[in-house]
Chain A
């Protein structure tokens, strides 16, 4: 009797605890979404009058389209470049034993721990002393410095569980180096590559401090959100914020669906 009552209490505590954490994590995002649907100029809780006109405005606005394309272009380029570089970087990190590997493993992770604002300022100083005009192109470069180590680390986790003997076996069965890569290495490492790509895109998509220093005249969505918060707030700010969150969530869901579909397809063949 005693123990079953204790069990009930423990279960109830677990539910309360996880609930509290979820509210803590998701309430701020929810409030942004609620703010985007209000008719008033400033957010009040509870919301008295709901409205969707700011969404209509966002979809019609040409400047929003520009912001979207700038953010999207940076994130896409960062994803492609960092996935390719981090793939080989992760092999060097987790697969091959070579002189200096320990040092490499430490050095490659250091940029993650630099304060991003300092990193952005340092890059801006470099760009101007080298005479490079900052634009969204230079932002791609600055995002890579911070994101590449993270993607390398994520892919390395997958590489650690990769047994090189699979490659040897394929090679022994007549496959060329390229066929081994296509048939064995890439498919087995693909979950790590996909999650690395998702991280790269989302981290670039939401990055503010590095973009602030290095986009020059171009503006990304997070930069715009900040500048409008400082002066000229309209409900367009939470609207665009909500759209950003929605876009990120959409990418995560889409990649899950693709991965699952791919897995099923492979299981069936």
Chain B
């Protein structure tokens, strides 16, 4: 019935209306068993609504959810074989770490010896010291709480584990560590993970596939490589972070014209068939100074400022009239020597640019 036997979770034409507002609009999605799938979208894109529908906390206005070929629309959250790691983790404050982890097993009527054995196994899997078993939840740090929340969800032994951006409240370094740990846990357990986040960068690190959601619509589904190198439109291209965007009109098979300044650029031979759209050039492939002089596509401008990003340095170049600006990044051990106010040339290779739709 599902076409392919490997389809584990399937969403068909899921729509959710809140009054006149359409939170989700005809969402279709198929997720395979054992996959790490991430839904990415800005706030208000409908990603939280979608995950609440999948967990069973909300029901869709129309559409169907299939798990292993069975419709689960009418199953309430406590009857679904799935569970979620909440954004604020929702650890029970009146229970110890062990009692939190064992909660689902206690509800299922598992005897206390088996429960404790499994809880200790999970603490070990999540690299938590075993004496945490008797610890109070309030005595645990942010990273420890993340792991406890994950252990509690794994103890439920769900078919699918959902994550509602649980890492968003953590500081940068801890988040980076836990992203990788989560990917490792995914590999070790072989479970199906469905994760939502507003950070495409976070999604890239962990996911097998990514779905980009905006204004209730799934815009693009693909591997991290697809999303990064073959964004479907301007929204997806800009979602990753800072990019140079130039509005262009097609004037030949492999040539476009800047619709503002009239400058003409060469296109990649593989570029999409689009009459007018946007040329996307990432800051790290943009060249500046001498290395730009022999590039087929060039723009002249004035160096405005530079910013240290750690491993790289970013330069901002503005047009003479100040209307447009571009970003260029170089490795920090290969800086560009120029002063603010200098006239500079920037340029890029046609194959480093991406032509996308509105």
Contacts and interface: CB of A to CB of B under 8 A. Distances in A.
B156 interface: yes
B99 A269 contact: yes
A267 interface: yes
B90 A166 contact: yes
B92 interface: yes
Nearest to B106: A183
B86 A170 contact: no
Contacts of B156: 173-174
Nearest to B152: A173
Interface of B: 55-57, 76-79, 83-84, 86, 88, 90, 92-94, 96, 99, 103-104, 106-108, 136, 152-153, 156
Interface of A: 163, 165-166, 168-176, 179, 183-184, 187-188, 266-267, 269
A168 B55 CA distance: 10
B94 A171 contact: no
A238 to B, nearest CB: 44
Contacts of A184: 92
B90 A165 contact: yes
SS class of chain B's interface: helix, strand, loop or mixed? mixed
A188 B86 CA distance: 19
Contact of B83 (A173, A188, A269): A173
A173 B104 contact: yes
A170 B88 contact: no
Which 8 residue pairs across A and B have the least CB separation, nearest first? A169-B90, A173-B104, A165-B90, A174-B107, A175-B107, A171-B78, A172-B77, A187-B94
B74 to A, nearest CB: 16
Contacts of B94: 187-188, 266
A173 B136 CA distance: 20
A170 B103 contact: yes
Given A170-B103, A269-B99, A175 B90 contact: no
B88 A174 contact: no
Nearest to A168: B57
A172 B57 CA distance: 8
Given A166-B92, A188-B92, 15 more contacts: A163-B90, A165-B86, A166-B90, A166-B93, A168-B86, A172-B77, A172-B83, A173-B78, A173-B107, A173-B156, A174-B78, A174-B79, A187-B94, A266-B94, A267-B96
